[in-house]
Amino acid sequence: MSFLPDPALRRLRDAFDAPDLSDSRYTLLEPIGRGGMGAVYAVHDAALDRRVALKVIDAGAHAESRIVARLEHPGIVPVHDSGTLPDGRPYYVMKLVEGEPLHRVPLEMPEALRVFLRVCDAIAFAHSRGIVHRDLKPENIMIGRFGEVLVLDWGVAAEAHAGAPRAGTPGFQAPEPEVTAASDIYSLGMLLRELVPEPRPPLRSIIERATQQRPEARYESAADLARDVTAFLDGTRVQAHRESLGEAAARLARKHQLWIVLIATYLVLRTILFFWFRR
């Protein structure tokens, strides 16, 4: 049982955890939040006179800054600097992204899917560099002020080939005990389910394929998953979905809606003209 109320305890813990930046070029501004393996603070960089984010990494997650630094991609927050605090805790400095996490941004389906495609792109890039994120969820996707989509919190990321143990958040976590790139595909599928709660049949098939229990039954890569989502958006055939003749007709009609309307308009008007001249 605690003798102090929760907010007081939290403030005490924050004060205790706050990094000592007295001998560095950074001045602490405010805590931003706690990620998978550390706390993130907004700090002022005196050398460049700008606000940046500083993440103090918990013990056992020393590789995070090196992993993120390897991933130079528009969908991944760039690392500017790294070092060690006087108390021995490592930290790294990255771009301070001003925006909202994905779960707080209301998005219509096409826009949500476009955001999802950019997440897939960042994850496909990480996989191509041999890194798995292991904690993909809406809270770790940031929509920036200028519409940029960034995958955050690589605190539990690991080498794809190392057979890293399961990590992340229940509900988004793949069932297999050893994490591979296929585990991120599973999390991407769960993310897609979260973004589009009531999907149409082709999109439902995409989610089902991405979230198969057996890793080998899922999409082979994030790029393959993105290709199917793009096909859905473009109104072309989705690989994961076996469509009926009616569905195919409806899809083609939706895709060529304006053409059909134009030709039908012509035929109706032409018929009217025909009967007009026959009077």
Partner 1 sequence: MSKPVLGLVLGGVLGIFDGLTAWFTPEVRNELPFIIMGSTGKGLVAGLLIGLLARKLKSVPLGVLCGLLIAAAVTYPIAANPDPNTGKVYFWQIILPGSLVGAIVGFATQKLPTKQAESSRTAAA
Stretch that binds partner 1, among 59-67, 163-171, 238-246, 270-278 (CB under 8 A): 270-278
Q: Is 135 a catalytic residue?
A: yes
Would you say how long the chain is, in residues?
279
Stretch that binds partner 1, among 122-130, 161-169, 175-183, 259-267 (CB under 8 A): 259-267
**Which tokens in the block code for residue 201?**
């049949």
Helices 181-195/201-210 angle, 10° precision = 150
Report CA 235 to chain centroid distance, whole Å. 23
CB of 264 to partner 1, least distance (A): 11
> Can residue 279 be called a binding residue for partner 1 (CB under 8 A)?
no
Residues 16-45 that bind partner 1 (CB under 8 A): none
Q: Which of 111, 162, 258, 260 binds partner 1 (CB under 8 A)?
A: 258
Catalytic residue among 58, 121, 135, 184: 135
142 contacts: CB under 8 Å, gap ≥ 6 = 77, 97, 99, 100, 101, 102, 149, 150, 152
Stretch that binds partner 1, among 67-75, 185-193, 202-210, 264-272 (CB under 8 A): 264-272
Q: Which of 145, 214, 270, 279 binds partner 1 (CB under 8 A)?
A: 270
Q: Which of 15, 170, 277, 279 binds partner 1 (CB under 8 A)?
A: 277
> Can residue 3 be called a binding residue for partner 1 (CB under 8 A)?
no
User: Under the rule (CB under 8 A), what is the footprint of partner 1?
Assistant: 258-259, 262-263, 265-267, 269-270, 273-274, 277
